[in-house]
Amino acid sequence: MEQIVSNPPAMRQRLLRWLRVAVHIGSLAPLALLISDIPTVNPIQAITQHSGRTAIILLMLCLACTPLNLLFGWKWAASLRKPLGLYSFLYVCLHLLTFAVLDYGLDGRLIWQAVLEKRYVVAGFSGFLLLLPLAITSTKGWQRRLGRRWRALHSLIYPAAILAILHFLWLSKVIRDPLIYGAIVAALLIVRLPPVRSQIAAWRRPARRLATLPGEASIE
DSSP state of 50: H
> pTM for this structure?
0.86
For 156-198, give the DSSP string.
Answer: THHHHHHHHHHHHHHH-SS-HHHHHHHHHHHHHHHTTSHHHHH
For residues 166-179, give the mean pLDDT.
94
- Structure confidence at residue 208 (pLDDT): 57
Per-residue confidence (pLDDT) for residue 37, from 0 to 100: 67
Per residue in 49-96, pLDDT (tens digit) is: 999 999 999 999 999 999 998 888 888 888 899 999 999 999 999 999
- Residue 5: per-residue pLDDT: 44
pLDDT in tens, 117-132: 899 999 999 999 999 9
Confidence of residue 217 (pLDDT cuts 50, 70, 90): very low
Section 2-9 average pLDDT: 52
Check residue 46 and give its pLDDT: 87
